[in-house]
Structures are given as structure tokens and as C-alpha cells.
Amino acid sequence: MESEITTEQKIMDAAEHVFLDEGFSGARMQHIADRAGINKAMLHYYFRSKDKLFELVFRHKMKQFVPQIEAALNEANMTFIEKIDRFVLAYLTMLQKNPRLPIFILSTIHRNPELANSIDIKLGAEIIRLMEIEIKEGRIKKVDTHQFMLTLVGMCLFPFIARPIFSKTFDLTPKQYDQLLAERRVHAVQYARAILIGE
């Protein structure tokens, strides 16, 4: 039974937590060490530098952030709206488990746009292609594909990005906001249907 958590893994977990909370320049190696229950020297023993450690964390998180779109959209025997429902569900489920992921990824890339280069371009092209087929076949309205995708993804991500400011503006308790997030799937899909089909 090798169920023991390795030091390396403890560091990665701690690093993820601290970097997601504080960002690269706000994070302190000391905090990560404390959280991992070891000392700073060990961080450098396992991962050479703060930069290397951050890069690993970022890449790992980036994988979570982008890819699962594909699985949802490529299922056969589904209407486009059903595919969207799957996509929204998958995305929101992941976000519930990683609520601070979006702002971490987006603010990191904002300050370091080259980091977006690891993204696979084919994915976007494939989505656009799928939508254009739906439009051509007359199963959805003639919407601008990019504008719609921006809206769809925004409907999933934005509630997590804007949580603190929205809670305050609309005077919602944490419990109420969680409820809002739990119900987000239904509304996002309903809105998508209104846009793509009209009801």
C-alpha cells in the first residue's frame, strides 16, 4: 500500500493553494513551505525555483480549465442544445470544485499573455465547425458563432469570477450565492436555447 502522500505531492498541493489565492508575485515560498509542513530548502530541492514551481502549477490548472469541452460536444445522438447542456454541466461541476480557478488563470494570462500559447487551437475551430453545420442545417438560428461562444462560456465562468462583487451589489449571503450557482445550469441552458432557437 503506497497510499502515503509524497513530499513532492504535498508541495504541489500547497503550491496550488497558495498560488491560486495570491497569484505568482503575491505568493511567498515561505507560505508554501509552511502549508506543506516542510521548510523552504525542500522546495528548492524538489523544484529548482519559484518560477519552475509556478509553471508546473499553472500548466496543471490550465489543463483543467480548457479541455473537457471536447467530450461534451462530440457525443453522437444528441441535439446541439443537449450537447450544450452537457458542456455547461461539466464546466459548472468542475468550477464548483475549483471556484478560484478562473480568476487565477485569467489574471495570470493577463499579465503574461504568452502563457495562452499552450492552448490547443484545434478545439476552437472544431466548435465553430460544429455550430456552422447546425446553422446550415437550420437546426439553430443564424447566430455569430464567436459571439455566442463568448456568451456561453461567460455564462459559466462569470458567476465565479464576479462572486465577491456581485454578492455585495445584490446583497446576497454566501448561502444565497451558492444557491444561485447551483441553479446556474438550468438558466444558462435556458438562455442558450432562447438565443439559438427562440422558445
Q: 452537457: which residue's cell? A: 86
Q: 451589489: which residue's cell? A: 169
50 near DNA (CB under 7 A): yes
Say which entry of DNA, a copy of itself, none residue 89 contacts (CB below 5 to 8 A, set by partner kind): none
Number of CB atoms found within 10 A of residue 169's CB? 9
Say which entry of DNA, a copy of itself, none residue 38 contacts (CB below 5 to 8 A, set by partner kind): DNA
Query: Based on CB atoms, which residue is closest to a copy of itself, 83 or 184?
Result: 184
Question: Which cell goes with 53?
Answer: 514551481
How far, in Å, CA of 181 to CA of 127, rounded?
Answer: 25
How far, in Å, CA of 66 to CA of 59, rounded?
Answer: 11
CB 72 within 8 A of CB 86: yes
Number of CB atoms found within 10 A of residue 120's CB? 11
39 near DNA (CB under 7 A): yes
Say which entry of DNA, a copy of itself, none residue 42 contacts (CB below 5 to 8 A, set by partner kind): DNA
111 near DNA (CB under 7 A): no
Percent helix, percent strand, percent coil in the chain, to nearest 5:
75, 0, 25
Query: Based on CB atoms, which residue is closest to a copy of itself, 7 or 64?
Result: 64
Question: In the complex, which residues of this chain contact a copy of itself (CB under 8 A)?
Answer: 21-26, 66, 100, 103, 105-107, 109-111, 113, 116-117, 119, 121, 123-125, 128, 143-144, 146-151, 153-155, 157-159, 161-162, 164-172, 180, 183-184, 187-188, 191, 194-195, 198-199
